[in-house]
């Protein structure tokens, strides 16, 4: 069994634990929260034996082998580093850090301490995305990648009332790019590597974060168009266009259905029935790696996390999005 601790007691941690409860080899043994009341309440709900309000104490504890971190983005790097330096394996919620320099620091720390570090990017680990990756060659030379993740945030209503919640605070390294744009960029880097050119524009909110944005990314022989928003919805699928056909993906942030539409009109389904919640697959990957004695995922690699964050740094520079971590 891999004994896990969780850092952060929010809805995303709850969703992860619901999925992880179905993963063989996962055991929740510890919970961290800034307040004892929250740590105790969350531990009682999920039957975790150990409760912590001090991160250093938790990281040094023998009660855990690994930790899942789901705190605001600005804290990811420092908190992850504490656990890595204590020999604990870390599954950190996306984005792995607030900028590329922080990601590089974490990769170096993980390697120096011979522990597993993985970005909890669920979309590249679900079965249907793996099918897309395996069948990409069938559409011939790829010419265009179009991906969008536009989801109106319930917190935006509060924002318009003058109440700025965490999702729209630059001091927490948040905003549309970090929250949703990353879901479009990470699969792009996974499939095609680093772009040669990046051109970005965004609508900035008065709080200092981006409400929405668009990015044009240039590659040799192809281009990518990425759109993301927290202030409007979109219901358009994502698409990878090749000279022989196109791959249609229902939701780039959590692919469930995909198909190839060839130029001759034939359609080849790529959908794999997803029998578990989307977050199951990232936990399964992480636990399997630990059981095999590996310190890096072959899918959510260090290099893909680093390259994606380098692209996001370029985008932020162009749109004027600055975080305290910079």
**Average pLDDT in the 242-249 region?**
98
| pLDDT-based confidence at residue 171 (cuts at 50, 70, 90) | very high
Please, which residues have CB within 8 angstroms of residue 23's CB and are 6 or more apart in sequence?
280, 283, 284, 287
Name the residue among 150, 304, 148, 312 with its Cα closest to residue 226. 148
Instruction: State pLDDT tens for residues 281-298.
Output: 999 999 999 999 999 999
**42-45-47-49 Cα dihedral, nearest 10 degrees:** 30
| Sequence-distant contacts of 320-324: CB under 8 A, at least 24 apart | 320/204, 321/170, 321/175, 321/177, 321/202, 321/204, 321/208, 321/209, 321/210, 322/170, 322/208, 323/74, 323/98, 323/99, 323/170, 323/171, 323/173, 324/74, 324/170, 324/171, 324/173
Task: Give Cα 5 to chain centroid, integer Å.
Answer: 19
Burial class (CB in 10 A: 0-12, 13-18, 19+), 10: middle
Instruction: State pLDDT tens for residues 82-129.
Output: 999 999 999 999 999 999 999 999 999 999 999 999 999 999 999 999
Please, which residues have CB within 8 angstroms of residue 200's CB and are 6 or more apart in sequence?
213, 214, 215, 216, 314, 315, 318, 319
**What's the pLDDT score for residue 95?**
98
Name the residue among 85, 155, 150 with its Cα closest to residue 117. 85
**What's the pLDDT score for residue 61?**
98
- Is residue 164 a contact partner of residue 207, using CB atoms and an 8 Å limit? yes
Question: How long a stretch of residues is the chain?
Answer: 326
**What's the pLDDT score for residue 248?**
98
**Average pLDDT in the 274-285 region?**
97
Tally of CB atoms within 10 A around 231: 18
Please, which residues have CB within 8 angstroms of residue 25's CB and are 6 or more apart in sequence?
1, 2, 287, 288, 290, 291
**Average pLDDT in the 187-205 region?**
98
Tally of CB atoms within 10 A around 311: 24
Q: Is the dihedral of CA 302, 112, 25, 2 positive or negative?
A: negative
Backbone phi, then psi, for 165, in 5-degree steps? -85, 175
- Is residue 209 a contact partner of residue 170, using CB atoms and an 8 Å limit? yes
Structure tokens at 240: 């990878």
**What's the pLDDT score for residue 269?**
98
| pLDDT-based confidence at residue 9 (cuts at 50, 70, 90) | very high
**What's the pLDDT score for residue 254?**
97
Tally of CB atoms within 10 A around 298: 8
**Average pLDDT in the 154-182 region?**
96
Structure tokens at 143: 């010419």
What is the share, in percent, of the chain residues with pLDDT greater than 90?
Answer: 100
3-state secondary structure at position 259: strand
Share the mean pLDDT of the chain: 98
Backbone phi, then psi, for 38, in 5-degree steps? -70, -40
Helical spans, DSSP H, in 137-234? 154-160, 176, 182-192
Which helix (H) or strand (E) element contains residue 176?
A: helix 176-176
Alpha carbon of 153 to those of 80, 122, 179, 233, 254: distances in Å? 27, 20, 11, 9, 17
What is the share, in percent, of the chain residues with pLDDT greater than 70?
Answer: 100
């Amino acid at each position: 069994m891999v004994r896990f601790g969780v850092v952060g007691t929010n809805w995303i941690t709850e969703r992860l634990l619901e999925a992880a409860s179905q993963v063989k080899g996962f055991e929740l043994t510890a919970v961290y929260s800034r307040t004892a009341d929250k740590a105790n309440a969350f531990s009682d709900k999920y039957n975790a034996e150990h409760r912590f309000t001090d991160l250093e104490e938790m990281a040094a504890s023998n009660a855990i082998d690994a930790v899942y971190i789901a705190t605001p983005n600005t804290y990811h790097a420092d908190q992850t580093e504490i656990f890595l330096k204590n020999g604990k394996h870390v599954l950190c919620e996306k984005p792995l850090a607030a900028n590329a320099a922080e990601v590089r620091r974490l990769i170096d720390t993980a390697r120096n301490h011979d522990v597993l570090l993985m970005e909890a990017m669920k979309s590249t680990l679900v079965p249907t995305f793996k099918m897309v990756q395996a069948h990409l060659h069938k559409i011939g030379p790829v010419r265009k990648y179009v991906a969008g993740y536009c989801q109106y945030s319930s917190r935006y209503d509060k924002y318009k009332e003058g109440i700025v919640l965490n999702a729209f605070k630059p001091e927490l390294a948040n905003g549309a790019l970090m929250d949703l744009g990353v879901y479009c960029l990470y699969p792009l880097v996974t499939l095609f590597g680093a772009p040669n050119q990046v051109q970005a524009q965004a609508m900035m909110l008065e709080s200092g974060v981006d409400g929405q944005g668009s990015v044009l990314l240039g590659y040799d022989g192809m281009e990518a168009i990425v759109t993301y928003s927290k202030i409007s919805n979109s219901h358009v699928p994502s698409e990878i266009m090749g000279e022989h056909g196109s791959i249609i993906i229902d939701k780039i942030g959590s692919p469930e259905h995909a198909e190839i539409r060839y130029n001759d009109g034939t359609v080849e389904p790529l959908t794999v029935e997803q029998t578990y919640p989307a977050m199951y697959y990232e936990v399964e990957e992480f636990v399997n790696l630990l059981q095999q004695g590996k310190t890096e995922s072959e899918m959510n690699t260090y290099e893909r996390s680093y390259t994606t964050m380098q692209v996001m740094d370029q985008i932020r520079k162009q749109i004027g999005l600055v975080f305290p971590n910079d």
